[in-house]
Amino acid sequence: MNLKNTFSWSKSRDEIFGECKRKYYYHYYGSWGGWEKGAPSDTREIYVLKNLRNRFTWKGEVVHKVIARVLNSVEIGTPIPLDRALSMARLEMVQDYRDSELGSYAQQPKRKCGLFEHAYGQPFSIEHRDILISEAQTCVENFFELEPLGKTNQPGPAHCL
């Protein structure tokens, strides 16, 4: 499959263009093809850097992924219980932290988590990671308390919107 980077426009593109033209270039054009094995080193570097996230964005992404899995499980009739959802968040965050700390994201930036803090040598200890895991788990617990899931923490298809 041969992907082509053709010009298009959208509200989000317009916002980035208005914010900083260099950011727009790097985001949509400078990083293009950086996923390919034979990509020029500067293109690859831009692509890797584009895929970094900070620890707070990372926490939110993990919470969203877990909630999406819970909702998908409800849709197919095999709801994920709260304890399993909490475990999923913890396991994913522990693995992501390890991948980031080891620099695995440099080889697989779309598949492995790369955190800004590790990439730029900023302090980010396991204790900090564990605080974020606890916060993510609290978010998941709060989701389970929302309607339409109800207070039973056992989502079912009848409760879906």
Q: Region 107-124: what's the mean pLDDT?
A: 95
Report the pLDDT value the prediction gives residue 4, as an integer from 0 to 100: 87
Indicate the pLDDT class of residue 37, thresholds 50, 70 and 90.
confident
Domain boundaries, the chain: 11-50, 55-159
Report the pLDDT value the prediction gives residue 77, as an integer from 0 to 100: 92
Report the pLDDT value the prediction gives residue 152, as an integer from 0 to 100: 43
Q: How far is CA 74 from CA 16, 66, 79, 89, 123, in A?
A: 37, 12, 5, 18, 39
Task: Of 104-113, 138-147, 149-158, give the lowest mean pLDDT range.
Answer: 149-158
Report the pLDDT value the prediction gives residue 161, as an integer from 0 to 100: 45
